[in-house]
Amino acid sequence: MLRRTMTTALLILGSLCAACSTADDEQTDAASRASSTPQSNSTPFPAESFSGLTERRAPAELAAALQAALVEAAGGHGVTATVMSPEGAWTGAVGRADRQRPMVPNAQMAIGSVTKPIIAAQVMQLVEAGDLELDDPVADHLPDWVELDTNGATIRDLMAMRSGLSDYVDDESLNATADHPRQGETWREVLARVEPPHGSPGETFEYNNTNFLLLGLVIEHVRGRPLAEVLRSGVLAGEGLERLILQPDERPTSPMAMPSEETGALEKGGGYLPSYAAISSAGGAGAMASDSRTLARWFARFCRGEIVSRDSLTEMKANLASDEERYGLGLMDEDGGSRPGMGHEGLQVGFASFARCLYEDGIVIAVLTNHEEVVTGDIVNALADAVLGTG
Above 70 in pLDDT, residue 19?
no
Q: What angle do CA 228, 233, 239 make, to 5 degrees?
A: 105
Could you list the beta-strand ranges (E) of the chain. 79-85, 88-94, 109-110, 245-246, 288-290, 332-334, 341-348, 351-358, 363-369
Rounded mean pLDDT, 376-383: 94
Count, residues in the chain: 391
Could you tell me the pLDDT band of residue 9, with boundaries at 50, 70 and 90?
very low
Above 90 in pLDDT, residue 231?
yes
Rounded mean pLDDT, 252-257: 97
Please tell me whether residue 248 adopts helix, strand or coil conformation: coil
Rounded mean pLDDT, 235-240: 97
Domain enclosing residue 48, as ranges: 4-390
- pLDDT for 170: 76
- pLDDT for 6: 39
Q: Are the C-beta atoms of 312 and 123 separated by less than 8 Å?
A: no
Mean pLDDT of the chain: 87
Residue type, 94: V
- Name which of 136-140, 167-171, 381-385 the model is least confident about: 167-171
pLDDT in tens, 87-101: 999 999 999 999 889
Above 90 in pLDDT, residue 43?
no
Domains contained in the chain, number: 1
- The CA–CA distances, whole Å, from 70 to 76, 93, 376 equal 10, 8, 11
- pLDDT for 390: 62
- pLDDT for 319: 64
- pLDDT for 172: 74
pLDDT in tens, 303-322: 999 999 999 999 999 865 45
Q: What residues form DSSP beta bridges with 80?
A: 93, 368
Above 70 in pLDDT, residue 284?
yes
Above 80 in pLDDT, residue 12?
no
- In sign, the C-alpha dihedral spanning 207, 210, 211, 212 is positive
Above 80 in pLDDT, residue 301?
yes
Instruction: Tell me how far apart the alpha carbons of residues 280 and 183 are, in angstroms, rounded to a whole number.
Output: 9
Higher pLDDT, 16 or 176: 176
Above 80 in pLDDT, residue 17?
no
CATH number of residue 284's parent domain: 3.40.710.10
Percent of the chain with pLDDT over 70: 85
Global pTM value: 0.89
Above 80 in pLDDT, residue 192?
yes
Above 70 in pLDDT, residue 186?
yes
Instruction: Tell me how far apart the alpha carbons of residues 20 and 1 are, in angstroms, rounded to a whole number.
Output: 43
Above 60 in pLDDT, residue 126?
yes
Above 50 in pLDDT, residue 143?
yes
- pLDDT for 323: 55
SS3 content of the chain, % helix, strand, coil (to 5): 35, 15, 50
- pLDDT for 296: 98
